[in-house]
Chains A and B, each alone.
Chain A
Amino acid sequence: QSALTQPASVSGSPGQSITISCTGTSSDVGTHNLVSWYRQHPGKAPKLMIYEVSKRPSGVSNRFSGSKSGNTASLTISGLQAEDEADYYCCSYAGSSTWVFGGGTILTVL
């Protein structure tokens, strides 16, 4: 069970859109539509932003969207805002009642 692969960092200007990828294998992301995304501000606990690949919890802005193709899931944030600057983690069901997270992506709003 290896960590999912995310880019170390991405950046964008306010108002722009960015996409963070999350690459797994046919044993996790590729097989199960159970990918979730979490945002973590420094020193804080992670917050759920997307679940089951593309569903948004109540209270999460519709600027956040998720998708999946093959073994890669993606999180897109549109209309970037300063408050979006944080670390983002993907997470996938990996079979046999186990879960695997990505290594995390630092989002910088320029």
Chain B
Amino acid sequence: QVQLQESGPGLVKPSETLSLTCTVSGGSVSSGSYYWSWIRQPPGRGLEWIGYIYYNGNTDYNPSLKSRVTISVDTSKNQFSLKLSSVTAADAAVFYCARYFRDSYYFDYWGQGTLVTVSS
């Protein structure tokens, strides 16, 4: 059974960089069948796709966040990571990592989510 687990600071100061890591178990980030994604959900609001990465390092990002987002993958640790720079209060959200199945175009496994608050 594939499991994803987010980790990282729950509090980030305005203007700083948010950094999160997703650890994958029961599956491999090196699999060519999947992209590894980040999705966020501000409190009480809907989901927003942030971006995803392929095992070879190819990335795609939400155009509205592209200038501030970097997603990277570490195949040796079976992890992938998110960096979001210059955060503001509007970036506060539950952040989910998820697996995207490229052959059928859906997000099939999700982490439980981690809440990140932006405050000084």
Instruction: Using CB atoms and an 8 Å cutoff, list the residues of chain A in contact with chain B.
Output: 1, 3, 34, 36, 38, 44-48, 51-52, 55, 57, 89, 91, 93, 96-104
The answer on a CB contact under 8 Å between B60 and A98 is: yes
Q: A50 CB to closest chain B CB, in angstroms? A: 9
The answer on a CB contact under 8 Å between A45 and B96 is: yes
The answer on a CB contact under 8 Å between B60 and A52 is: no
Known: A45-B96, A45-B110, A93-B105. A98 touches B62 (CB 8 A): yes
Contact of B49 among A34, A48, A101, A104 (CB under 8 A): A101
Contact of B46 among A3, A93, A96 (CB under 8 A): A3
Q: B15 CB to closest chain A CB, in angstroms? A: 25
Known: A34-B105, A36-B105, A98-B62. A46 touches B110 (CB 8 A): yes
- Note all chain A residues with C-beta closer than 8 A to B48: 3, 101
The answer on a CB contact under 8 Å between A52 and B104 is: yes
- Note all chain B residues with C-beta closer than 8 A to A102: 46
The answer on a CB contact under 8 Å between A36 and B106 is: yes
- Note all chain B residues with C-beta closer than 8 A to A36: 105-107
Instruction: Using CB atoms and an 8 Å cutoff, list the residues of chain B in contact with chain A.
Output: 39, 45-49, 60-64, 96, 104-108, 110-113
Known: A1-B63, A103-B46, A104-B47. A45 touches B106 (CB 8 A): no
The answer on a CB contact under 8 Å between B60 and A45 is: no
- Note all chain B residues with C-beta closer than 8 A to A44: 112
Q: B12 CB to closest chain A CB, in angstroms? A: 22
Q: How far is the CA of A99 from the CA of B113 in the complex (A)?
A: 19
The answer on a CB contact under 8 Å between B45 and A103 is: yes
Q: How far is the CA of A3 from the CA of B49 in the complex (A)?
A: 10
Q: A14 CB to closest chain B CB, in angstroms? A: 27
The answer on a CB contact under 8 Å between B46 and A89 is: yes
Contact of A1 among B39, B47, B62 (CB under 8 A): B62
Q: A75 CB to closest chain B CB, in angstroms? A: 14
